[in-house]
Structure 1
C-alpha cells in the first residue's frame, strides 16, 4: 500500500509539473495530440501570440479517411496512407465538420508546428533532409503520413514541414480572396517548408500538393 501511494504521488507530480503530449482519437478514429494553451513566438518577427488549448490531428488526413467520408472520391490506388490532396478549402472544411472538428486557425497550426520558442522547423532551427519530405531530398511525391519520425513537432504532430501544404482557417487579405496554406510540401525546398512559410490560394483551388488536418 505504501509503495502504491508513493507511485501515485509521483504520477501526480509528473502530470502537474511536466507537459507530456498525449494522443486522443477523434470521431474519425484519427489520433490527435494535445497542444496546451498559452503564449508562443509567432511569425518571422517572433511576436508574442496567445492561444487556448486544443487538440490537433497527429497526421494529415489520408486518402483512406477521406474516402470513408466521400465514397465517390477518386483516391489513387496504393496510397491509402498518403495524405489526401486535390481538396479545396470547402472540401477540407466539410470533412472536419463531419468529424465534429474544424480546420485550425493560422495561430493554432503554427503553435502545434513550432512550439513556444519560435523554431523555424518542427524539430529545431536547422533543416534536416531526414526529417521532412521536401524537394531537397524527397521522392518527388507524397509519402505515407508519419514517415519522418525525426520531424515530429514539440507536441508530437507529424509532417508539419513538407509532404503537403495544409489548409488553415485564415484569410491573407481584407477582401477575403485568398485562403492560406502552411507547412510546405514535397514539391518545395527547405526555404518554403518552414513553420512560417505560406501559400495563397482561392478557396476553390485544388492542388496535388495541398491537403489538411483538423483540430477540436
Structure 2
C-alpha cells in the first residue's frame, strides 16, 4: 500500500509540474506559415509559447537575489544574459524560442508585418513613438497581441532567440523594444547582441514542445 501511495504522489507531482509548465502558455498549432521578409513558406510542429514576456516577479522566484524597483513585479525582466535566460527556461522545463517559432507566434500564418496587421499603429505598442522611459507592464497593449493572443511580440523589450549571426558571435533578438521605431518592431526584424551581455532593453520568453 505504501508503495502504491508513493507512486500515486509521484504521479500527482508530475501532473502538477506539467500543468504549471503550461500556465500562461499558448499553443501554436503546427503547419505551414510565411517566414521572413521574403515570406518563404515553411512548416513547424506544435509548440507552446509564453503568453507574456518573463516578468521580474517570475524571475525572482527562480533567482532570489534578483532585484527590481518597487511596483514592477509585472514588468519584463531585463539585463539578463542569453545564458541566464536559457537557464531559467531549462529550469522551467522549457527552452529559448527558435527564430521560426518566435516569428510564427508573432505574425501567424498570413505573413503580416506587425502582430496586429500590416499597418503600424503606435497605440498598439510600447515603441519609441510612445515616448516611454522604459518597459511597461507586460500585456498592456490588448490590441497589439498576435493572432494567437501572444502579447508584446513587438515593442516593450527585445527578446532572445536560439539563433546565431552568420559568424556565431552574436545571438539574435527579435521583437524590437521601447526605444525602437516602426521598422525595427516588424515581425521579421532582427537585432544582435553578445550572448553574455546584458541590456535594459532585452528580455525573453520561453517555449515548450508539445
Which position in structure 2 is the counterpart of 1:211?
203
Which position in structure 2 is the counterpart of 1:44?
37
Contact 1:145-1:158 within 8 A present in 2 as well: yes
Give the TM-score normalised by structure 1.
0.85
Note closer, same or farther for the CA distance 1:124–1:101 as it changes in structure 2 (3 Å cut).
Answer: same
Structure-1 separation of matches of 2:70 and 2:22: 22
* Runs (5+) with no aligned partner, structure 2: 1-17
Offset of 1:29 from its aligned partner? Answer: 7.1
Q: Per-residue displacement from partner, 1:61-89 (whole Å, max 9, x unpaired)?
A: 00000000000112222210000000000
Q: Per-residue displacement from partner, 1:153-207 (whole Å, max 9, x unpaired)?
A: 011100000000000111111x311100000010111111110111101110110
Which position in structure 1 is the counterpart of 2:168?
176
The one of 105, 113, 116 aligned to 2:106 = 113
- The alignment covers a number of residue pairs equal to 191
* Runs (5+) with no aligned partner, structure 1: 1-24
Note closer, same or farther for the CA distance 1:150–1:134 as it changes in structure 2 (3 Å cut).
Answer: same
Map 1:57-96 → 2, pairs under 5 A: 57-96=50-89
Structure-2 separation of matches of 1:102 and 1:122: 22
Structure-1 separation of matches of 2:173 and 2:19: 22
- RMSD value over aligned CA atoms? 1.3
Note closer, same or farther for the CA distance 1:29–1:73 as it changes in structure 2 (3 Å cut).
Answer: farther
Map 1:131-150 → 2, pairs under 5 A: 131-150=124-143
Structure-1 separation of matches of 2:50 and 2:105: 10
